[in-house]
Amino acid sequence: MSLAPDKETTDGFIQAILAELATRLAELASTGIEAQIDLRSLPMDPPKRAALDAKLGKGDVTATIADRAGRTEVFETRYAGVWRLAHYDMHDTLLMEEIAIAPVPDILRADPTDMAEAAARLGAELALDTKKGHAND
């Protein structure tokens, strides 16, 4: 990758997004305040989008969330704490893309309600297994 600034990354629009990212990232590092940037509502033509993606690059974490309601692709960029998210519906149509500035994007964290439900379910399964085990004795 060339480090020389190309035409697109010196573009005012991309510069503004990058400046915003830098501010938010510094804020995250010092105060822990998270932020999101909605790329869907930012008017960007394909070359600009490509330039932004090239600048941000790809880091060392990639994750896919797939569930009944759709799919989300997440990866960390070359800048720690800056994540790219792409949400798809159940027909794999792109709904929206966003940038999350956070230690971990919200969507990757397990939710307390989900965890409580999972614990109850696991407990119930375990009780059932134990019962089955006793029955086998």
From candidates 3, 32, 64, 68, binder to other proteins by CB under 8 A: 68
Nearer to other proteins, 55 or 87 (CB): 87
Per rule CB under 8 A, count of chain residues that contact other proteins: 28
- Token digits of residue 31: 């105060």
Contacts 24+ apart (CB under 8 A), 10-13: 11/48, 11/51, 13/44, 13/48
Residue 44: φ, ψ to 5°: -135, 125
Q: Is 96 an interacting residue with respect to other proteins (CB under 8 A)?
A: yes
From candidates 40, 58, 78, 131, binder to other proteins by CB under 8 A: 40
Element (H, E) at 96: strand 94-101
Q: Could you tell me where the DSSP H helices lie in 2-111?
A: 12-31, 46-56
Spatial distance between the Cα atoms of 64 and 125, rounded to a whole number of angstroms: 27
Nearer to other proteins, 44 or 65 (CB): 65
Helices 12-31, 46-56: crossing angle, 10 deg rounding:
40
From candidates 29, 47, 62, 106, binder to other proteins by CB under 8 A: 106
Q: Is 125 an interacting residue with respect to other proteins (CB under 8 A)?
A: no
- Tell me the closest approach of the beta carbon of residue 77 to other proteins, in angstroms: 17
Residues at the interface with other proteins (CB under 8 A): 35-38, 40-41, 65, 67-70, 72, 85, 87, 89-91, 93, 95-96, 98, 106-108, 111, 113-114, 117
